Structure 1
Amino acid sequence: MVAMAMVAAQQFLCFSKSNCRITTTRPCIPLHHFSSTLLRSRNNKIQFPLISYSSSSSQTPETETETAESCVNLGLELFSKGKVKDALAQFETALSLNPNPVEAQAAFYNKACCHAYRGEGKKAANCLRTALREYNLKFGTILNDPDLASFRALPEFKELQEEARLGGEDVGSSFRRDLKLISEVQAPFRGIRRFFYVAFTAAAGISLFFNVPRILRAIQGGDGAPDVLETAGNAAVNIGGIVVFVALFLWDNKKEEEQIAQISRNETLSRLPLRLSTNRVVELVQLRDTVRPVIIAGKKETVTLALRKAERFRTDLLRRGVLLVPVIWGEGRETKIEKKGFGLQPKAAEALPSIGEDFEKRTQSVTAQSKLKAEVRFKAEAVSPAEWEWWIRDQQKSEGVPVGEDVYIILRLDGRVRRSGRGIPDWDQIAKELPPMEAILSKLER
């Protein structure tokens, strides 16, 4: 009996090994990695472990439980195949499955990308507002993502960016906080000035408070009463001081808001894509310290004439690092986007740099900079012209220039606006104005 039992047990073990083996087809990725990969592009989707059960007689995979995580991943996969409607349905399903904050952020963000691709700017903006307000989405992600290039050319993006710049409950305050930090770096003494404005206003107010009883006594007269004119003069000085310091405080606040708005425009400008002569697509931020872009915007005839005149000064302008970027009004609205992905065409989207630590290292790398210098020529093509046109029109409004007028904008080596003008640039004057790249003034401009 014992021998038979051992034989039966051995047969049972053999059957178990041959009919129910567990195979792991994908490596397991820890959950803490999930937050950084859910928002990646369709080419870098996260993979989660899949356990399958196989049998020698019949292979029947166990039905997987649908989760928010799996729906987001499936949506990204459908998105990569151009099935935007199906991808949108998966992201909506993920939101209905009680997702955690990271999964909800990813679902809302990718849902916004779907709406942007379909031209539904209002729906895309609402999804992004929710992700910004409730799930701590960084506004820089919206600025950097090529999948949202078409959305950034819409009025809804302008409204969303303005809300983010002002801060508040609707979109959170992280973007405004970042802008204020940059503003404080550029104007380090603003806080000190404000302190003195408040201190002097308080001192004048306290002095005026004690002057009021003296004025009343002076008006009543009598023995020991202070002089009316002297007391009134002191009160007038205090009132004048309060008015002046309050006005200075408000003026400083206004200047700060203007500076923050300009920083926001500069941030948007730095993320605009260009196609170099080698057909490589880069963002403008990657060309910092390398070239001085000159944006020429206007009607086709004006831009063509400006480029033709620039050819006569080509050598002098190249010595000064000038890179011409022509933008023709209305060209972006006429461009048809091939529906194989979000925003940019696939080749352009793949050529854009990834955002994050790798991107920062690459932009600061000496090797990468030297390669870019070798690829940069005299003229570059504006990728996503509608987005460029939107930025230029916004810049025109800020400078009081009629929107849609032919203009040119000269940028510094550090990417900020140097100056702008109307009509066709005076290339001879620009060549005299800009120092050569090897000059000390150019090094100070970096």
Structure 2
Amino acid sequence: MAMAAIGLHQQLLCCPGSRALSSYRPCLRSQKSRLVLVASSSSPPSPSSETSAQTAESCVNLGLSLFSKGRVKDALMQFENALSLNPKPIEAQAALYNKACCHAYRGEGRKAAECLRTALRDYNLKFGTILNDPDLASFRALPEFKELQEEARLGGEDIGYGFRRDLKLISEVQAPFRGVRRFFYVALTAAAGISMFFTVPRLLRAIKGGDDAPDIWETAGNAAINIGGIIVLVALFIWDNRKEEEQIAQISRDETLSRLPVRLSTNRIVELVQLRDTARPVILAGNKETVSRAIEKAERFRTELLKRGVLLIPVIWGDYRRTSVEKKGFGLPSKAAASVPSIGFVCRPIFLIDRLSGTGICR
């Protein structure tokens, strides 16, 4: 759940592997103190006093503690209670995010998407957190995640502009002169428009004729140049915008694919993003015969592939069968997708088939 525990000196969302046990301790100590007070008091405390002692922070921490014990339904109730106790923005973000993780665990993709959409829009949740969290792996395989990602890529009032802003920054790094080109497109279009503003009256005077009328052919030529320049510059500006949108869509797909888990030939499970700067993943997609033949041909180059850090990922389209998993999310399934035998530095895909479709990686 990325364990978004709220501590006094703690980050909002911890790393996926950490459970932030220290954040539970204040809650446990407070429970012990209440037990002592009950033992020494002649009358038990009223339910209203216990309810009034609850805070959004304590509800979130208690929900995390309950979830770590497998009590997902009770944890979900605590996160909902936290949202009803006038939480601070950081507390509301944590409650919504962990509530979404609970819904993902229960297979409620639509409710999880709504919680994440609210956290993205109102509480500045980073979309990269959703991409990185292994506890949301099942949610990322649902159509609701694809819709959410598309909304975040386009940006808007319903979901915010945080993810799109991050994508645009990456796009600017890959195409550093796009902003300069746009500046010149706008500046030259404005100059042509101003020139056209003065050329139109001269053209009308040239058409009417007279002793002091300008030459009609020269004036018409200037007007044609201005109009042609405006058309060309506007077309270039629109073309550049379309290229940027295509690039942002490609970056979004790459960011999603980079979180795909794969199993190495050593049975170690890693995400593709962890292989950056250490290996060169190559996806071999096709039917079983085609992939097996490609692996056999690559066998003689195994030493060279190992030396260059090439990682072969076989993906068999034809023999893939969806395996039903009762519990969704929070870890990887026990059964991986079928794949051909590895020949050394080869990895096997997990959750790869569904999410490669429609990404354009094997066109």
TM range (shorter): 0.7 to 0.9
Pairing partner for 1:380 from 329, 347, 359: 347
Taking the aligned partners of 2:87 and 2:61, their CA distance within structure 1 comes to 13
Contact preservation (8 Å) 1:117, 1:343 = no
Matches of residues 426-441 of structure 1 in structure 2 within 5 Å? none
Taking the aligned partners of 1:267 and 1:341, their CA distance within structure 2 comes to 19
SS in 2 for 1:113: helix
Identity of aligned residues (%): 72
Contact preservation (8 Å) 2:79, 2:98 = yes
The alpha carbon displacement at 1:93 in A equals 2.0
Pairing partner for 1:395 from 331, 352, 359: 359
Contact preservation (8 Å) 2:64, 2:75 = yes
2:145 is the alignment partner of 1:181: no
SS in 1 for 2:19: helix
Instruction: Specify the code of the residue in structure 1 equivalent to 2:56.
Output: A
Aligned to 1:227: 215
Pairing partner for 2:251 from 257, 263, 268: 263
Matches of residues 199-278 of structure 1 in structure 2 within 5 Å? 199-278=187-266
2:112 is the alignment partner of 1:124: yes
Query: Deviation string for 1:252-286 (max 9, x for gaps)?
Result: 11111111111112212222222223332222122
44-53 vs 152-161, greater mean Cα deviation: 44-53
Contact preservation (8 Å) 1:105, 1:135 = yes
Aligned to 2:19: 43
Contact preservation (8 Å) 1:42, 1:79 = no
Query: Deviation string for 1:79-126 (max 9, x for gaps)?
Result: 223332222222222222222211211111111112112222111111
Query: Deviation string for 1:36-90 (max 9, x for gaps)?
Result: 45x86673342242244587x9567978533322222222222223332222222
SS in 2 for 1:99: coil
Aligned to 2:8: 31
The alpha carbon displacement at 1:322 in A equals 1.8
Pairing partner for 1:296 from 284, 287, 302: 284
Name the CA shift for 1:36/1:112 in 2 (closer, same or farther; >3 Å).
Answer: closer
2:164 is the alignment partner of 1:197: no
- TM-score normalized by structure 1? 0.69
Pairing partner for 2:124 from 115, 131, 136: 136
Larger Rg: 1
SS in 1 for 2:12: helix
SS in 1 for 2:305: helix
Contact preservation (8 Å) 1:42, 1:77 = no
Pairing partner for 1:316 from 304, 312, 315: 304
The alpha carbon displacement at 1:34 in A equals 6.0
The alpha carbon displacement at 1:301 in A equals 4.1
Contact preservation (8 Å) 2:16, 2:133 = no
Taking the aligned partners of 1:261 and 1:138, their CA distance within structure 2 comes to 18
Query: Deviation string for 1:305-350 (max 9, x for gaps)?
Result: 43333324323333332211122348886234463962525999xx
Q: What do you get for the CA RMSD once the two structures are aligned?
A: 3.0
Contact preservation (8 Å) 1:80, 1:341 = no
SS in 2 for 1:289: coil
Aligned to 2:339: none
Name the CA shift for 1:209/1:139 in 2 (closer, same or farther; >3 Å).
Answer: same
Taking the aligned partners of 2:317 and 2:74, their CA distance within structure 1 comes to 35
Taking the aligned partners of 1:280 and 1:243, their CA distance within structure 2 comes to 57
SS in 1 for 2:124: coil
- TM-score normalized by structure 2? 0.83
Contact preservation (8 Å) 1:109, 1:127 = yes
Name the CA shift for 1:183/1:159 in 2 (closer, same or farther; >3 Å).
Answer: same
Name the CA shift for 1:40/1:144 in 2 (closer, same or farther; >3 Å).
Answer: closer
Matches of residues 69-84 of structure 1 in structure 2 within 5 Å? 69-84=57-72
Contact preservation (8 Å) 2:136, 2:329 = no
SS in 1 for 2:10: helix
Name the CA shift for 1:44/1:298 in 2 (closer, same or farther; >3 Å).
Answer: farther
Contact preservation (8 Å) 1:272, 1:283 = yes
SS in 1 for 2:230: helix
Taking the aligned partners of 1:118 and 1:300, their CA distance within structure 2 comes to 34
Taking the aligned partners of 1:101 and 1:262, their CA distance within structure 2 comes to 32
Taking the aligned partners of 2:335 and 2:72, their CA distance within structure 1 comes to 18
* Runs of 5+ consecutive residues of structure 1 not aligned to the other structure: 1-28, 349-375, 400-406, 408-421, 423-446
* Runs of 5+ consecutive residues of structure 2 not aligned to the other structure: 1-5, 337-342
